[in-house]
Structure 1
Amino acid sequence: MSPKATPTSPKDWQEDLPDTARAYYEGQRLDEVECIISDLPGIARGKAVPASKFARQTYFHLPDSIFYQTITGDWADAADEDGWIEKDMVLYPDYSTATAAPWTGDWTLQVIHDAYDRDGAPIPFSPRNVLKRVVDLYHAQGWKPVVAPEMEFYLVARNTDPARGIEPMMGRSGRPAAARQAYSMTAVDEFGPVIDDIYDFAEAQGFEIDGITQEGGAGQLEINLRHGSPVKLADEVFYFKRLIREAALRHDCFATFMAKPIADEPGSAMHIHHSIIDMETGENLFSGPQGGETDAFYHFIAGLQNHLPAGLAVMAPYVNSYRRYVKDHAAPINLEWARDNRTTGIRVPLSGPEARRIENRIGGMDGNPYLSIAASLACGYLGLMEQERPSKQFKGDAYEGEGDIPRVLGQALDLFDEATKLHEILGPEFARVYSIVKRAEYDEFLQVISPWEREHLLMNV
């Protein structure tokens, strides 16, 4: 677990900010600072304070119950032995995360905070702390994990009626966004004004986009981020979700990160590329002296194969997540691995030895980025420690085989609850709280009668 909190003097806090944050309001009076933290779904919680007040505070408080809330806003009975007393957490700013909020009407910064208890120990079910815990385990072995996320999402028409199906947005040409136009530059041009704002916001926030492409769905885009530290990249995905939503709203459309927003269209994934650096030598742990694949390379793959079924409840956290796993809809249904094969759940992209990496294609874009990256790294870490070998490399179209991952959230949660090895890596207290919250959400869903049930069961059974 990460070390205890150490308060920072607020007197010169602006000197600790990244250059891009200071450049954003250079020559202007900073108006406001948004003090934020990710809850379990990945929603930004916190408060906005005048910049002058932020300069005088070293921390602020929020109740720990923000981590007991379901996606609907209801509360799960996940309090500890002290009972439901909504204890105050102490939230300290990580000034390295300070970034602009360029869509606001004034000069505003966002700063991600870390959560600690009154004794200065990290709150174990705070998502950023969960990821830090996993990264610390790698560091203790002399390893530095490196990740590169890919973010898929849809731009859709405004939808304020939950009973109405989600539709693609209207493009610049006045026609709805078309499907099956993967990698089309013309299709990307249809969303030009939204993409321009995404680029402008990202530049103001100091984020480097590796590329934007049109994906296979109607109005579906993908943004790739450059590889780097897991915590830093999770921070960026956390920020990007808000950034993209704000850019879309400026152009009369919604951005959605649902795993499967439109029937008969591909789902949205967050693929995660992994490599590991030996902290002593600086070499890629997956490549040997002669450039060949190492035992660690195979052990990491085996860890993903052996433990991702239990980790899926974290990387695919909602009932809608499992609608994505459909044959021939650009989503893996298995945990086979192969080189340069996008039909398998675990892919080894083409690269030289120094850039050798393993891509986990299982997780959905609806997952909390801190928890999805933590779960994926945890599975790989267990593989490195257990030193087992993966199955033989798959040959051919993996969509033709049978799926070997859970098909519904309830089944995934059952596997997660039994995964004591995974709990030890992510944190037993996190596992306890997460399971309770997710089961509460699942119970809420089961109380809802769907249009399919009314259409086909009302008069026929």
Structure 2
Amino acid sequence: MDQKTPSSVSALENSDARARGVPDHKSAVEWLKSRGIQDVECIVPDQAGVARGKMMPTEKFARSPSITMPTSIFAQTISGDYPPEDGEFVYDPTDGDLIFDPDYSTLSIVPWASDPAAQLIHDARHKDGRPVDHAPRQVLKRVVELYERKGLRPVVAPEIEFYLVKPNTDPDYPLEPPIGRSGRPEIGRQSFSIAAVNEFDDLFDDIYDYAEAQGLEIDTLIHEEGAAQMEINLLHGDAVDLADQVFLFKRTIREAALRHKMYATFMAKPMSGEPGSAMHIHASLVDTETGKTIFSDDEGNPTKEFFYFIAGHQKYLPAVMCILAPYVNSYRRLERFSASPTNVSWGYDNRTVGLRVPHSPPSARRLENRIPSSDSNPYLAIAASLACGLLGLEEGQHPDDPIDGSASSLPFDLPRDILGAVTLFEECEPLSDIFGKSFVSTFRAIKQAEYETFMRVISPWEREYLLLNV
């Protein structure tokens, strides 16, 4: 679809652009018709966090809100292929369709559409009503439900880093920073530079407009270390809702960048010599009866549950690394003596460790997981981080001592490649019990197939150093 001008975006903006209060199908149809919505994008996040789905005219949506799509939608690799039959994973194209039902709380407008359009995230189920266990949104819901059984509610706040780059139509050429309003590309480090953000004021105005039109809640926007590398922080809240917001934000930022003849990329390491991009996840736990954090006692001191939560991350993060760093490129980000952590150490307000406890009042005590990369699926990354913390609570172990100084010189605690990471995940029984056999086998097959596709490509490094020397 063509993109809207800012004036056409504002025509659809209103205080309830995101239909948080819509309880059912009838109310949703009224919401759509009152705004003159012509088309509804029925979308679902796949294993990579890519939006799949169907476009429906509003009239057809009014008659039947559910859609059907093949079971293969959750078995696709990032290159669009399907894993071969292998072990426990078998993709059978004769399995038939899955049914996708709308979550009306996610209904919002599509502000960049040429004609008035709305979007609606759907959940997958089998024909007998069972949820699809390996669907990413369902995986996160299952982890949240495990907390609910303990009388706890996870509260999360993601931070999403990304790069703006010049359009790149030939993958053989490296990416380059875009040209800002000064007419020059960035050089050197511009961390927290307001002037560097101002280079792209028009773009960020559109991002804010698009976000407001969808009811997405930006906390802060900053310039990160890399050339034209930015970070958007979201307000804390419900885990599933925040995963939805990250899912929609990625799409929003890409669309806004395209309008300004740029690409926005969430690759973990898009450019050599520049820092990688992360998706840090801040998490705390609230008692559902009292509404208070369980990480601080009445005197404001950290509780044993807080330390159990940290210990669970320390123990199990290496085993979920294939989810937090899901591609070959993801592991290029993990460099010692860089801003990217290579360990599962923890510390107070220490950005060289994988697990940071930010300075905060006792009521906001939380743990920041700095290991996930920005290319990870937000549903799965949040689920993986929370699963580690959940196991820590159940096992009641204590973490290592906090790191006071730099942890950059410490040995690697994390897998160095995707195949090793997948093996750790598959062999970890406590995590397999949480994620389910269906998800583990599907995810493993996808990652192995993606690796085989990668191995068919000869890199410039191989031509540079092997061509005439070996």
Taking structure 2 as the reference length, the TM-score comes to 0.93
Counterpart position of 2:150: 141
Counterpart position of 1:37: 44
**Residues 252, 83 of structure 1: alpha-carbon distance in 2 compared, 3 angstrom cutoff:** closer
Counterpart position of 1:226: 235
> Equivalents in 2 of 1:41, 1:81: separation in Å?
19
Counterpart position of 1:239: 248
Q: Identity percentage over the alignment?
A: 53
Counterpart position of 1:75: 82
Counterpart position of 2:367: 358
Pairing partner for 2:441 from 397, 415, 432: 432
1:453 corresponds to 2:462: yes
Counterpart position of 2:316: 307
Amino acid at match of 1:43: V
Structure 1 residues 166-175 or 177-186, which shifts more? 177-186
Counterpart position of 1:333: 342
Q: Secondary structure at the match of 1:238?
A: helix
> Equivalents in 1 of 2:354, 2:274: separation in Å?
19
> Equivalents in 1 of 2:156, 2:24: separation in Å?
32
Residue 9 (structure 1) shift: 6.7
Q: Secondary structure at the match of 2:408?
A: helix
Counterpart position of 2:28: 13
Pairing partner for 2:451 from 439, 442, 450: 442
8 Å CA contact retained: 1:153, 1:256: yes
Counterpart position of 1:270: 279
8 Å CA contact retained: 1:11, 1:56: no
8 Å CA contact retained: 1:178, 1:187: no
8 Å CA contact retained: 1:275, 1:286: yes
Residue 86 (structure 1) shift: 4.0
Pairing partner for 2:66 from 59, 63, 73: 59
> Equivalents in 2 of 1:179, 1:318: separation in Å?
28
8 Å CA contact retained: 2:25, 2:104: no
> Equivalents in 2 of 1:82, 1:388: separation in Å?
40
8 Å CA contact retained: 2:75, 2:91: no
8 Å CA contact retained: 1:10, 1:56: no
Structure 1 residues 159-168 or 417-426, which shifts more? 417-426
> Equivalents in 1 of 2:409, 2:328: separation in Å?
24
> Equivalents in 2 of 1:382, 1:122: separation in Å?
24
Amino acid at match of 1:187: A
Q: Secondary structure at the match of 1:55?
A: helix
- Once the two structures are superposed, residues 54-95 of structure 1 have per-residue CA deviations (whole angstroms, 9 ceiling, x without a partner) of 111031101110111100111113686784424211100001
Q: Secondary structure at the match of 1:434?
A: helix
Counterpart position of 1:183: 192
Structure 2: unaligned runs, 5 residues or longer: 1-22
1:47 corresponds to 2:54: yes
> Equivalents in 2 of 1:262, 1:172: separation in Å?
22
Residue 169 (structure 1) shift: 0.8
Q: Secondary structure at the match of 2:326?
A: coil
Amino acid at match of 1:75: Y
Amino acid at match of 2:66: Y
Structure 1 residues 41-50 or 175-184, which shifts more? 175-184
Amino acid at match of 1:274: A
8 Å CA contact retained: 1:273, 1:358: yes
- Once the two structures are superposed, residues 121-176 of structure 1 have per-residue CA deviations (whole angstroms, 9 ceiling, x without a partner) of 11011100000000000000000000000000000000010000011111111000
Pairing partner for 2:297 from 285, 288, 305: 288
- Once the two structures are superposed, residues 345-395 of structure 1 have per-residue CA deviations (whole angstroms, 9 ceiling, x without a partner) of 000000011000000000000000000000000011010101101111112
> Equivalents in 2 of 1:229, 1:9: separation in Å?
20
Amino acid at match of 1:212: L
Pairing partner for 1:396 from 399, 405, 410: 405
Counterpart position of 1:378: 387
Q: Secondary structure at the match of 1:375?
A: helix
8 Å CA contact retained: 2:277, 2:333: yes
Residue 230 (structure 1) shift: 0.5
> Equivalents in 2 of 1:367, 1:432: separation in Å?
18
> Equivalents in 2 of 1:395, 1:329: separation in Å?
17
**Residues 86, 77 of structure 1: alpha-carbon distance in 2 compared, 3 angstrom cutoff:** farther
**Residues 61, 264 of structure 1: alpha-carbon distance in 2 compared, 3 angstrom cutoff:** same
Amino acid at match of 1:408: D
> Equivalents in 2 of 1:86, 1:242: separation in Å?
30
> Equivalents in 1 of 2:304, 2:341: separation in Å?
25
Residue 329 (structure 1) shift: 2.3
Counterpart position of 1:321: 330
Counterpart position of 2:226: 217
